Amino acid sequence: MFSLQQLFGKADRFFDLLEASAEEAHASVQLLLQLLKAPTHTLEDFVLTRRKEKKIAEEIDERLVKTFITGLEREDIEALSRALYKIPKSVEKFAERFTLARERLAGVDFSRQAELLEKATATVVAMVKQLRHLGELEQTKELNDRLQYIEGQADKLVLELLRQLYQQAEDPLRVLIVKDLVELLEKVIDRCRDAGNVVTQIVLKNS
């Protein structure tokens, strides 16, 4: 026979899992920064991080089936879990293509975008941790505003990099490769924004 403490303990486990998921997303971007600094870095760590994220997502799904009481609405937990899982998945895709095209990318600097991604995922981690304190709406809004600002800065970097490419007499294939990689980094930022929006909606709903 379950006690209320056991039931609420299971509900709290969702907060633990969502926080772990956000931290894995952040870790994937930290690996990306290492890859950009050290071209010999392998893809295995990216695969491992994405697998950890997938395992967390699978545990969330299993617990949603088995748990009667949840601290958040089931649909919100599912939406946030999906949004967080897409971050390391997109990062891994960038790392794969970057590694394949490395010889054509001499002189192309993605580090500024990656640093913004690191800030974005760190902000997502902070936002997910706010879910344990649903009454702190203003702080969640501040974090979401920070995330939107980071997204705006990343968009400016995309335009700057593309402008440089188009103004130079570049190899057309190199331009296409860089454009593809830039769009993948932009997608990671979008995934962070999506996760932040889900958190904000959850807090608004429960305030």
In this prediction, residue 32 carries a pLDDT of 93
63-73 pLDDT, tens digit per residue, is 988 877 677 88
pLDDT at 70: 75
**Which CA distances in Å does 27 have to 20, 58, 134?**
10, 19, 25
Distance CA(61)–CA(58), nearest Å, equals: 5
Coil/strand/helix, residue 110: coil
For the domain made up of 4-206, give the CATH fold.
Answer: Methane Monooxygenase Hydroxylase; Chain G, domain 1 (1.20.58)
**pLDDT confidence bin for 6, thresholds 50/70/90:** very low
Residue 5 has pLDDT above 70, yes or no: no
Write down the mean pLDDT value for the chain: 87
Tokens 């830039």: give the residue.
182
The Cα 108–Cα 178 span in angstroms is 8
Q: Could you tell me if residue 67 is left (phi over 0), alpha (psi between -120 and 50 degrees) or otherwise beta? A: beta
pLDDT digits (tens, 9 = 90+) for 88-130: 999 999 999 999 888 888 888 898 999 999 999 999 999 999 9
Tokens of 141: 């809004």
**pTM score:** 0.87
What's the confidence (pLDDT) of residue 40? 62
pLDDT confidence bin for 2, thresholds 50/70/90: very low
* Two structure tokens written together for 144: 């979401």
| Separation between Cα atoms, residue 180 and residue 12, nearest integer Å | 40
DSSP string, 58-78: HHHHHHHHH-S--SS-HHHHH
Task: List, for residues 14-41, the tens digit of each pLDDT value.
Answer: 999 999 999 999 999 999 999 988 766 6
Of the pLDDT bands very low, low, confident and very high (cuts 50, 70, 90), residue 163 is confident
169 Cβ contact partners less than 8 Å away, ≥ 6 residues apart: none
